[in-house]
Amino acid sequence: MVSNASEPAPIIGVTTYLERAQQGVWDVRAAFLPEQYLTGVTDSGGIALLLPPQNPDAADAAIAGMDGLVLSGGADVAPELYGESRHPLTDPARTDRDAWELALFRAAERRRMPVLAICRGLQLVNVARGGTLQQHLPESLGTEKYRLGGGVFAENAVGISDETPFADIIRESEVSVHSYHHQGIGRLGDGLVAAAHSDDGLVQAFVDTSAGHVVGVQWHPEENAEDRRLFADLVAQARVFAAGRRESAA
């Protein structure tokens, strides 16, 4: 997508992991994010800025100059946050990410900033809104089709509801998506409207237009370089948000 030269490109914050990284003689903990997230934003006309985990008190200031937010994928959200005991196969708690990303999402909500929540991001938003997760889908749904393992993304069919604004983004009744998750939505959180399901009834996407523009997908759209619809929608919404921010400042 080519941006209008008369207006600045919107700035999109993208959350990252803190992970052990090795390069040459260095073996350190570092901010890490697959490049696909960044190109999803930049290919769609936005500017991507990384948001690694840090003090949650800094979340409001961190996104003050941004126009949109991507909550990226990664490790499981801590079940303690939605009042459940830990399943044996749930990932060890990543309290740094949970606290930081919850604070970022709430800061974005207060501003009515556009949000695209991907995989773990969708789950985190659901928890932030008081929803719950199914901690191990092979047990609760009896299928391994959402996570093949070994870094290989599964491909699954997802049906799109024609009753939400999400249908205007996708413009198809069914799409093939890239999946890599073993958890999923249990009880849907407050204000979130299911916008896509797989054939086993699992919620695969939701929207909330009452708090700005919030879109969550259980799959990984960044893995499909031929289909930037979700990133393009975020950037388009971020342009509108940025224009409103400039107007208010003036």
* Residues classed as catalytic: 119, 220, 222
Beta bridge partners of 12: 48, 68
Q: Do residues 147 and 181 lie in contact, with contact meaning Cβ atoms separated by under 8 Å?
A: yes
CA–CA distances in Å: residue 40 to residues 47, 163, 221, 227: 10, 26, 8, 9
Taken in order 185, 208, 68, 156, the sign of the CA dihedral is: positive
